[in-house]
C-alpha cells in the first residue's frame, strides 16, 4: 500500500490533530497511474471546476503531455487557452515569468492547469493564489516535493524568498511519463527526499532551542516518505514503474506535510538553505543553476556530516560570556552580508531583521543550549544517519551528488555553509554551530575534506 493511500481518507478534509491544532488538507485528489490524462475531464466535472481553462507549460512538457491534455479537453467541449514558454533559456520563477502568465491569463477562465514540474508548478500556484482561480498540476517528473505545497519559492529582485501561494485541487501524474523523465530529474527527486534527513532534525532543534511547535503527524509523514524512497532505491535507479511511483508518492506526501503546517518547515532545513544560497549565487553570476533537488542532495551530504561532527561536541566547552563578547555587532554583520550577497544584500538584511541583536536574546539562547544539550539536543544530533550510510543509499540509487561530479567549487560551498543561514530565520544545525562559535572551524574542515 502506498503512503498516499494511507492518507487518502484525509484528502479534502479538516481534522483535529494530536499536536493540538486543527489541520486541513484541501488537496482533493491524487492520481498516479498509466494514461492519467484521460482522468482530467471527469475530475474537472466532479470538482465543479468549470469548462474554461488555461494550460501553462513549456515546449518540452507541451510535447510530453500538454498537447494530449489540450486535445482531450477540447474533444469534451472545454475551452482551453495555452501559455507556452519557449525552450531556451530555461524558465526562472521570477517576475518575468509571472508577468508572462498574467499576460495570457483571462479573468473569464475557470481553472488553471500546470503541466510540468518544479518551476511551472511554483509559478502557477502563485498565480492561482493571486487570482483566486483553482489549479491542477499534471506532474511530468518525480523531481521535487513541492507539488502539494502551499508556498512558492520565487526569485524577486534576485532574492529567493518563499511566498504565500495556494494548494492544487489535484495532483495527476502518468507513470509512463514519470519513468521517461531524464535521469537527472529523477535523481533530483531522490536528493530532495534524502534532504529530509536533516530538515526533520533541524525542526527538532528548533523545538529544543527556540520553543518552536512540532506536529508529529507531519513529521511522521515526511519520515515515512524518506523510508519509502530508501526501500526502493534500486527500482528507482532502474526506472521500474513501482520504484518511480514510490518516489513520486513520497514527494507528494512530503508536500502534504507542508500543506498541514502551512509552511515548508517539515521538509526544508539547513540543506535547503544551502541550496537556495547556491542558486542565488549562480544567478548573480549568470550561470544556469542545478536542479533544486540536486542542490539539496549535495547540501545534505554536508549537513549530515555536520550533524555527525557535532554529535561529539562537549557542552562543557560552551563559554557563554566569551561567545557574547565575540559575537559581531549588527553593523559589522551588515557589512559582511553586503560583501557576500552584493546586490541582494538589502533583501537578506530585511529578511533576518535585528532580533538577534536585541538585549539578552543571544545570551538566553546559549543558556538554553547548554541546559538542554544532554537531554534534548544531543539525542537530535545522534538521530541523523552516518554520512557513509547516506552515501551508500545514493550509490544504490546511482546518484552522485559530490561537488566534483556537479562541478561546484568548494569555496562556494564554504561560503554557503557560513552564510546560507542568513537567508532564513528558522533554527537549524548551521544556526547551532554558529551560536557555539564553531561554524567557521567545521565549515573549513568539511570543505577541505568533503568526506568528513
State the residue for C-alpha cell 543571544.
362
**Among 181, 200, 219, where does a domain finish?**
181
Q: Domain with 164 in it: what CATH number?
A: 3.40.50.1970
Lowest mean pLDDT among 238-242, 279-283, 363-367: 279-283
158 assigned to some structural domain: yes
Backbone phi, psi, residue 322, to 5°: -65, -40
**At 87, is the pLDDT very low, low, confident or very high (cuts 50, 70, 90)?**
low
- pLDDT cut 70: percent of the chain above it: 97
Same domain, 439 and 334: yes
C-alpha cell at 147: 507539488
Please give the residue range of the domain that contains residue 275. 182-452
Same domain, 127 and 213: no
**Among 121, 148, 181, where does a domain finish?**
181
Backbone phi, psi, residue 380, to 5°: -65, -45
Backbone phi, psi, residue 112, to 5°: -110, 145
Same domain, 173 and 186: no
**Chain segment 159-169, per-residue pLDDT in tens:** 777 788 899 99
Q: How far is 354 from 342, CA to CA, in rounded Å?
A: 19
Lowest mean pLDDT among 2-6, 103-107, 119-123, 326-330: 2-6
Same domain, 246 and 275: yes
Q: Is pLDDT of 2 > 70? A: no
**Chain segment 22-80, per-residue pLDDT in tens:** 888 899 999 999 999 999 999 999 999 999 999 999 999 999 999 999 999 999 999 99
User: What is the domain count for the chain?
Assistant: 2
Q: How many CB atoms lie within 10 A of CB 371?
A: 12
Q: Is pLDDT of 451 > 60? A: no
4 assigned to some structural domain: no
Same domain, 94 and 199: no
Same domain, 316 and 421: yes
C-alpha cell at 397: 540509487
Same domain, 59 and 136: yes
Q: How far is 92 from 155, CA to CA, in rounded Å?
A: 8
What average pLDDT does range 236-257 have in this prediction? Answer: 95
**DSSP structure class, residue 11:** T
Same domain, 260 and 320: yes
Q: Domain with 238 in it: what CATH number?
A: 1.20.1090.10
Q: Is pLDDT of 452 > 50? A: no
Same domain, 150 and 194: no
Q: Is pLDDT of 1 > 60? A: no
pLDDT of residue 284: 85
**Among 162, 181, 200, where does a domain finish?**
181
Amino acid at each position: 500500500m502506498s503512503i498516499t493511500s494511507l492518507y487518502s481518507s484525509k484528502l479534502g478534509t479538516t481534522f483535529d490533530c494530536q499536536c493540538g491544532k486543527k489541520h486541513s488538507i484541501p488537496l482533493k485528489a491524487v492520481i498516479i497511474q498509466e494514461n492519467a490524462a484521460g482522468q482530467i475531464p471527469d475530475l474537472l466535472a466532479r470538482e465543479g471546476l468549470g469548462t474554461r481553462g488555461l494550460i501553462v507549460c513549456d515546449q518540452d512538457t507541451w510535447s510530453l503531455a500538454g498537447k494530449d491534455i489540450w486535445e482531450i479537453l477540447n474533444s469534451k467541449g472545454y475551452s482551453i487557452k495555452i501559455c507556452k514558454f519557449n525552450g531556451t533559456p530555461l524558465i526562472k520563477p521570477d517576475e518575468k515569468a509571472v508577468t508572462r502568465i498574467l499576460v495570457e491569463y483571462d479573468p473569464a477562465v475557470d481553472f488553471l492547469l500546470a503541466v510540468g514540474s518544479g518551476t511551472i508548478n511554483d509559478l502557477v500556484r502563485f498565480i492561482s493564489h493571486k487570482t483566486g482561480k483553482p489549479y491542477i498540476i499534471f506532474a511530468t517528473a518525480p523531481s521535487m516535493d513541492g507539488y502539494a505545497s502551499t508556498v512558492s519559492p520565487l526569485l524577486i529582485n534576485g532574492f529567493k524568498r518563499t511566498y504565500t501561494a495556494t494548494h492544487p485541487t489535484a495532483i495527476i501524474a502518468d507513470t509512463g511519463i514519470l519513468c521517461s523523465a531524464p535521469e537527472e530529474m529523477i535523481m533530483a527527486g531522490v536528493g530532495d527526499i534524502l534532504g529530509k534527513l536533516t530538515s526533520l532534525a533541524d525542526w527538532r532543534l528548533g523545538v529544543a532551542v527556540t520553543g518552536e511547535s512540532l506536529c508529529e503527524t507531519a513529521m511522521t509523514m515526511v519520515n515515512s516518505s524518506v523510508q519509502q524512497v530508501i526501500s526502493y532505491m534500486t527500482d528507482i535507479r532502474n526506472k521500474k514503474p513501482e520504484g518511480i511511483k514510490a518516489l513520486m508518492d513520497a514527494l507528494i506526501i512530503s508536500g502534504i506535510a507542508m500543506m498541514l503546517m502551512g509552511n515548508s518547515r517539515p521538509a526544508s532545513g539547513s540543506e535547503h538553505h544551502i541550496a537556495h544560497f547556491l542558486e542565488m549565487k549562480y544567478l548573480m553570476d549568470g550561470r544556469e543553476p542545478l536542479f533544486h533537488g540536486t542542490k539539496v542532495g549535495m547540501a545534505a551530504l554536508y549537513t549530515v556530516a555536520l550533524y555527525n561532527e557535532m554529535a561529539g561536541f562537549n557542552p562543557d566547552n560552551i563559554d557563554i560570556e566569551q561567545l557574547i563578547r565575540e559575537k559581531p555587532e549588527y553593523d559589522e554583520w551588515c557589512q559582511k552580508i553586503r560583501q557576500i550577497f552584493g546586490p541582494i544584500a538589502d533583501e537578506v538584511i530585511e529578511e533576518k531583521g535585528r532580533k538577534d541583536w536585541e538585549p539578552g536574546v543571544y545570551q538566553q539562547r546559549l543558556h538554553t543550549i547548554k541546559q538542554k544539550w544532554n537531554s534534548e539536543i544531543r539525542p537530535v544530533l545522534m538521530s541523523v544517519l552516518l554520512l557513509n550510510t547516506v552515501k551508500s543509499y545514493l550509490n544504490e540509487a546511482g546518484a552522485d551528488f559530490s561537488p566534483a561530479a556537479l562541478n561546484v567549487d568548494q569555496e562556494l560551498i564554504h561560503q554557503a555553509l557560513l552564510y546560507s543561514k542568513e537567508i532564513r530565520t528558522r533554527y537549524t544545525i548551521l544556526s547551532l554551530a554558529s551560536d557555539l562559535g564553531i561554524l567557521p572551524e567545521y565549515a573549513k574542515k568539511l570543505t577541505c575534506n568533503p568526506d568528513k
